[in-house]
Amino acid sequence: MGSLKQARQRADGSSVSRLTLVATLAVLAVAGAAAAVLLTRDAASARERASLCPRTPIEKVRDGFREPRELRSRDGVLSVTLRARPARAFISRPGIRSDLYDGQYPAPTLRVCPGDTLRIKLVNDLSKPTNLHVHGMHVSPRNPSDDVLISIPPGGSHQYVYKVPRDQTPGMYWYHPHRHKLTDPQVFSGMAGALIVEGSGYDDRPGIAGVPERTIVVQENQIADGRVIDPSKVSNRKVRMLVNGRLRQRLGIAPGQIQRWRILNASADRFVRLRIPGQMLDVISEDGNPRPAPSPRRTVLIPAGGRREVLVRGGRRSTQLQTLAFRQPFDNTRRQTLISVRATGRRITGQRMPRTLGRLPDLRRGRVDRRRVIRLESDFPRFLVNGKTFDPRRVDQTMKLGALEQWTIRNDSGEWHSFHIHVNPVQVVRIGRRAVRSVDYEDVVAIPPRGSVTLRMRFTDFTGKFVFHCHILGHEDGGMMSLVQVVR
């Protein structure tokens, strides 16, 4: 408007020719049209993004059950600063010292939609190096995205930028440090938080939309002299499993009511096997990947780093969510009550479980470009992949972009391991000699002692170097990790 007014004033004063005025007006008209196009594009982009987020707002249960603080994206962007630092926090009781993100145990839950941009500035106020990994996300392994080969020194900082794909599967993911040799103690200290992708294609489905949800972060912990100890010094008898930083939380559910529980096992080293006595847990998602249909189970095994989303229907009587005993040579999980579940309120009728949940590509129908065998071996204190410990300067496997590969993971040791590969999820097609009938995607796969699991994966969208490893993080730090690369 200012430019147009000045042009008219100059025309009235005969200081500018009529031709100049016409030219100026034409330029302004073109600029205005361009601005209108940009505004239209911005509006279309906003509408497009809104179509990727759930149309029905996800409802949280508010009954005093303690959950991590949540940070949510706005207008397609979530920008946060995480400060890794020594702090005092409520860790089973007030005032416990540990190394944490923003002084919180667990760290804040981050919520985004497909197509969003997640920006995390990590500030390292620790005495040792660190870095960050967004576990399970299909994002680039190159800096400034999910590059776990960088090291942020004490006193340093790093800006991460993650472009969440438009086709990212909605579900529960998480973030944690991934600095080799320091991953186990930093995650054990409590440096971990949930990352939830909300999406219209999944969260708006009948039987999912409108179902109230809870975020449940399970973490192993041992305290001595007022601080969380180093995991190398833990005693199986003294380790306790915490839920959102608390021992034996309480929650309520009405008889007949269905709730959605998003459960993350953010433990550094321990598996959990969950059950509610006398009741089924309907698994709807594994590691952020929806099941074809709800899978009713009496117990649910979650490896360290794994996630399960379950639908729970309230019963007539109060009960408990328990973790059962799980035996490992060094990392036993003891039986423990995690949550007291109170039957509360009037009976709710008419809520139904969903019949179907989604369809992921069945890689068994594709032509396999290459087959590989990966052997996991224990030679304490070393843990090996194909007879070697991790070397960040050595690439062990090279894959072609777009290739479909079949990997058989063999556990040649007498203890459980778990297989996790960055960037791409995997489809489990065989456990030992037993073929898996359903389309079953995971990103942390439990491998039993002296057993094997066969996986298929397609390497899409991204080239670069990244890793696979055992997600028992003491094993990873001990060398059970391997560098791979995807090339064109």
Question: What is the residue-wise DSSP string for 295-356?
Answer: EEES-EEE-TT-EEEEEEE--SS-EEEEEE-B--SS--B--EEEEEEEE-SS--------S-
Question: What is the residue-wise DSSP string for 219-247?
Answer: EEE-EETTEEPPGGG--TTT-EEEETTBS
Do residues 151 and 47 both lie within one domain?
no
Do residues 375 and 417 both lie within one domain?
yes
473 Cβ partners below 8 Å, 6+ apart?
183, 184, 187, 188, 268, 269, 304
- Tell me, yes or no, whether 260 lies in a domain: yes
Do residues 47 and 142 both lie within one domain?
no
Strand pairing class (417-421; 464-470)? antiparallel
Do residues 227 and 170 both lie within one domain?
no
Q: Are 258 and 311 in contact (CB under 8 A)?
A: yes
Q: Minimum mean pLDDT among 85-94, 166-175, 229-238: which range?
A: 229-238
- Tell me, yes or no, whether 315 lies in a domain: yes
Kindly indicate the confidence band of residue 22, based on its pLDDT and cuts at 50, 70 and 90.
very low
- Tell me, yes or no, whether 453 lies in a domain: yes
Do residues 195 and 218 both lie within one domain?
no
**The predicted structure's pLDDT at residue 327:** 87
Do residues 74 and 199 both lie within one domain?
yes
Kindly indicate the confidence band of residue 45, based on its pLDDT and cuts at 50, 70 and 90.
low
Q: Tokens at residue 54, please?
A: 């759930």
Q: Write down the pTM of the prediction.
A: 0.90
Kindly indicate the confidence band of residue 47, based on its pLDDT and cuts at 50, 70 and 90.
low
Q: How many domains does the chain have?
A: 4
Do residues 254 and 159 both lie within one domain?
no
Instruction: Tell me the residue type at 174.
Output: W
Instruction: Tell me the residue type at 289.
Output: N
Strand pairing class (70-72; 109-112)? parallel
Q: Of 334 and 72, which is predicted with more confidence?
A: 72
Do residues 197 and 228 both lie within one domain?
no
- Tell me, yes or no, whether 352 lies in a domain: no
Do residues 196 and 304 both lie within one domain?
no
Q: Left, alpha or beta for 278 (phi > 0: left; psi -120 to 50: alpha)?
A: left
- Tell me, yes or no, whether 100 lies in a domain: yes
The CATH number of residue 263's host domain is 2.60.40.420
**Is residue 282 helix, strand or coil?**
strand
- Tell me, yes or no, whether 320 lies in a domain: yes
Instruction: Tell me the residue type at 318.
Output: S
Kindly indicate the confidence band of residue 4, based on its pLDDT and cuts at 50, 70 and 90.
very low
Q: Dihedral of CA 62/172/454/377: which sign?
A: negative
For residue 33, report the phi and psi dihedrals to the nearest 5 degrees: -65, -40
Instruction: Tell me the residue type at 393.
Output: R
Average pLDDT value over all residues in the chain? 91
Do residues 120 and 188 both lie within one domain?
yes
- Tell me, yes or no, whether 64 lies in a domain: no
Task: Using the predicted structure, report yes or no on whether residue 336 has a pLDDT greater than 70.
Answer: yes
Range of the domain at 403: 363-487
Q: Are 177 and 158 in contact (CB under 8 A)?
A: no
Element housing 118 (H / E): strand 117-124
* Domain boundary, last residue among 203, 227, 252: 203
**The predicted structure's pLDDT at residue 9:** 39
- Tell me, yes or no, whether 339 lies in a domain: yes
**The predicted structure's pLDDT at residue 358:** 84
Task: Find, among 132, 128, 144, 259, the residue nearest to 193 by Cα.
Answer: 132
Instruction: Tell me the residue type at 309.
Output: E
**The predicted structure's pLDDT at residue 18:** 45
Do residues 283 and 333 both lie within one domain?
yes
> In whole angstroms, how far apart are CA 407 and each of 88, 427, 452, 461?
44, 10, 10, 20
Task: Find, among 468, 442, 452, 460, the residue nearest to 404 by Cα.
Answer: 460
Do residues 369 and 459 both lie within one domain?
yes
**The predicted structure's pLDDT at residue 401:** 98
Percent of the chain with pLDDT over 90: 85
Task: Using the predicted structure, report yes or no on whether residue 459 has a pLDDT greater than 80.
Answer: yes
Average pLDDT rounded to a whole number, residues 381-404: 97
Task: Using the predicted structure, report yes or no on whether residue 235 has a pLDDT greater than 70.
Answer: yes
